[in-house]
């Protein structure tokens, strides 16, 4: 698990984590590079939402990220100590975007479209946990439910 506490630098730090993983995969590929790029985008989107929208209720932020390969999939788990929110309710209420390429609201739908077994829950230790798998899927963006 990699822990991050500085919201001002976390995006760059997360990109550095993925850059290191990409270098490892180039030396001994065990996972398709596309899966790693998709995971980087998904984690970036989630962390960016934490930075922009989370309420840490006067606590020092703590965000933990765990990445591991499980069979031919990449497992990602992100924990944070923010107040959290109702991800499933958000996704249900925004199931179909009413305009193509809106200014806001695409990120979480993209996260859902490019991941498998997406699960978000509050833990008993006061943290929130997002878990998902990434497989090597093509044309992920086509799974976002746009409406004209």
Residue 48 dihedral angles phi and psi, to the nearest 5°:
-60, -40
Delimit the domains of the chain by residue range: 2-143
**Mean pLDDT throughout 116-123?**
93
- For residues 79 and 144, the model is more confident at 79
Domain 2-143 has CATH 3.30.565.10: yes
Over residues 75-116, the pLDDT tens digits come to: 999 999 999 888 877 777 766 554 454 455 677 888 888 899
Position 147 scores a pLDDT of 44
Q: Is the pLDDT of residue 69 over 70?
A: yes
Full-model pTM: 0.82
Give how far the C-alpha of residue 98 lies from the chain's centroid of Cα atoms, to the nearest Å.
23
Among 118, 72, 90, 81, which residue's Cα sits nearest to residue 4? 81
Among 9, 7, 78, 85, which residue's Cα sits nearest to residue 40? 78
CA distance 46 to 52: 10
Q: In the chain, which residue ranges form alpha helices assigned H by DSSP? A: 10-27, 33-53, 87-93, 107-114
Position 73 scores a pLDDT of 86
């Amino acid at each position: 698990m990699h822990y991050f506490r500085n919201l001002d630098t976390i995006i760059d730090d997360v990109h550095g984590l993925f850059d290191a993983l990409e270098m490892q995969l180039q030396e001994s590929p065990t996972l398709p590079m596309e899966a790693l790029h998709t995971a980087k985008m998904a984690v970036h989107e989630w962390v960016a939402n934490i930075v922009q929208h989370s309420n840490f209720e006067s606590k020092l932020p703590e965000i933990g990220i765990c990445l591991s390969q499980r069979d031919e999939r990449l497992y990602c788990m992100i924990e944070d100590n923010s107040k959290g929110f109702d991800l499933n309710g958000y996704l249900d209420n925004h199931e179909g975007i009413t305009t193509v390429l809106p200014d806001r609201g695409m990120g979480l739908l993209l996260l859902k479209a490019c991941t498998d077994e997406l699960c978000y829950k509050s833990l008993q230790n006061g943290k929130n946990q997002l878990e998902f798998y990434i497989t090597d899927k093509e044309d992920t963006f086509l799974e976002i439910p746009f409406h004209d």
